[in-house]
């Protein structure tokens, strides 16, 4: 396996399936280091450059770096999230690139992370680029499926919710298209999966767009739920039309296979009833933990501390 040192992660398609599997294998090894602090990344500094709100992704990257002995500088300026001039981003990245060894960026504009990677000499990791992609979330989602289901091939996976604007489902469905899986896309009509992604994945695996979760709930191995991405709607009246239009409840869980799992990238708004949290199928908080491990592994590989 060629070294991943110095690599950017902007799109999930930047990595081959073999490389993705390698990162996940390394995650299993690195799990031991998450218990105690390690000095694998001692002397390395990571910049967090977030132009959009974030709790999980930011803290997860920060903790991953610190648990491996590295340091972080947070250069997020949420108030500047409305700045939509590529020029400003260009200068910021050029400056920060001088201070650190790796940059994690989140920005509301599609193409922003790619632009940052072209400018920076150090590796850039995309922590979410508009509604487009969220590749490290896809990695941790794959890892969660692998850990909880012990395989990815042969599974039936249903995505439920805002498939138009959720960047996590875009990256994950593209990644899953490398496996032998069956995918269901379930959403309100105005929030259907982006056409270009639907086309890409349906050329590789079996995909079906379904109107009602109840039609397939008994069949699925993985139910991946997303929140409606209110902040991405250009017309708030469209949001009002779909607000609260779906919710996973205990009734759904009762119909599910006993060994099925429910995932969600979080934050949850109202799309999964809190009562579901107590069921064995609910894995969304475990998913958060796996995210820490996967980001530790990715940082260690990209920064060349692990080969």
Torsion of CA 266, 4, 103, 121, to 10 degrees: -150
Q: Return d(Cα 264, Cα 106) in angstroms, integer.
A: 19
Is 107 one of the binding residues for ligand NCD (CB under 6 A)? no
16 is catalytic: no
Active-site position among 26, 107, 134, 182: 134
How is residue 268 written in tokens? 């949850």
Report the residue number, 137 or 297, with the smaller CB distance to ligand NCD.
Answer: 137
Report the residue from 70, 123, 128, 130 that binds ligand NCD according to the rule CB under 6 A. 128
Q: Return d(Cα 279, Cα 262) in angstroms, integer.
A: 10
57 is catalytic: yes
| Only segment of 28-36, 43-51, 81-89, 224-232 that touches ligand NCD (CB under 6 A) | 224-232
Q: In Å, how far are 42, 110, 134, 217, 245 from 228, measured between CA atoms? A: 39, 18, 16, 20, 9
Q: Segment 246-265, which members bind ligand NCD (CB under 6 A)?
A: 265
Q: Return d(Cα 164, Cα 27) in angstroms, integer.
A: 30
Report the residue number, 123 or 161, with the smaller CB distance to ligand NCD.
Answer: 161
Active-site position among 7, 26, 57, 167: 57
Report the residue from 120, 175, 266, 276 that binds ligand NCD according to the rule CB under 6 A. 266
| Only segment of 70-78, 87-95, 112-120, 225-233 that touches ligand NCD (CB under 6 A) | 225-233
252 is catalytic: no
Active-site position among 44, 58, 67, 106: 106
**Which is nearest to 128 in space by CA: 175, 171, 80?**
171
Report the residue from 147, 227, 252, 283 that binds ligand NCD according to the rule CB under 6 A. 227
Q: In Å, how far are 85, 92, 160, 209, 235 from 115, measured between CA atoms? A: 12, 12, 31, 33, 28
232 is catalytic: no
Is 230 one of the binding residues for ligand NCD (CB under 6 A)? no
Is 167 one of the binding residues for ligand NCD (CB under 6 A)? yes
Chain CA centroid to CA 70, Å: 22
Q: In this structure, what are the phi and psi dihedrals at residue 208, rounded to the nearest 5 degrees?
A: -140, 130
195 is catalytic: no
Q: How far is the CB of 131 from ligand NCD (least distance, A)?
A: 9
Residue 183 has what DSSP assignment?
Answer: E
Binding site for ligand NCD (CB under 6 A): 56-57, 128, 134, 137, 167-168, 226-227, 229, 265-266
Indicate which residues carry an active-site annotation.
56-57, 85, 106, 134
């Amino acid at each position: 396996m060629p070294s991943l040192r110095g690599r950017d992660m902007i799109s999930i398609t930047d990595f081959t399936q073999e490389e993705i599997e390698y990162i996940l294998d390394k995650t299993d090894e690195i799990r031991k280091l998450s218990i105690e602090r390690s000095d694998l990344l001692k002397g390395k500094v990571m910049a967090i450059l977030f132009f959009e709100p974030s709790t999980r992704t930011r803290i997860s990257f920060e903790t991953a770096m610190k648990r491996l002995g590295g340091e972080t500088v947070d250069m997020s300026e949420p108030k500047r999230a409305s700045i939509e001039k590529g020029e400003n981003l260009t200068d910021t990245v050029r400056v920060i690139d001088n201070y650190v060894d790796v940059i994690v960026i989140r920005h509301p504009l599609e193409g922003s992370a790619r632009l940052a990677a072209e400018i920076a000499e150090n590796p850039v990791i995309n922590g979410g680029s508009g509604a487009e992609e969220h590749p490290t979330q896809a990695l941790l989602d794959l890892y969660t499926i692998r850990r909880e289901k012990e395989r990815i091939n042969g599974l039936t996976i249903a995505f439920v919710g805002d498939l138009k604007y959720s960047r996590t489902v875009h990256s994950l469905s593209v990644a899953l298209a490398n496996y032998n899986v069956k995918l269901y896309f379930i959403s309100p009509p105005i929030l259907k999966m982006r056409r270009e992604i639907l086309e890409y994945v349906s050329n590789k695996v079996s995909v079906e767009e379904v109107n009602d979760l109840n039609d397939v709930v008994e069949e699925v191995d993985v139910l991946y739920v997303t929140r409606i991405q209110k902040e991405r709607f250009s017309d708030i009246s469209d949001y009002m039309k779909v607000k609260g239009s779906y919710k996973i409840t205990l009734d759904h869980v009762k119909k599910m296979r006993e060994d099925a799992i429910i995932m969600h990238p979080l934050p949850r708004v109202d799309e999964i009833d809190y009562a579901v949290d107590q069921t064995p199928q609910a894995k969304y908080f475990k998913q958060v933990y796996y995210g820490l491990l996967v980001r530790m592994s990715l940082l260690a590989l990209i920064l060349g501390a692990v080969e």
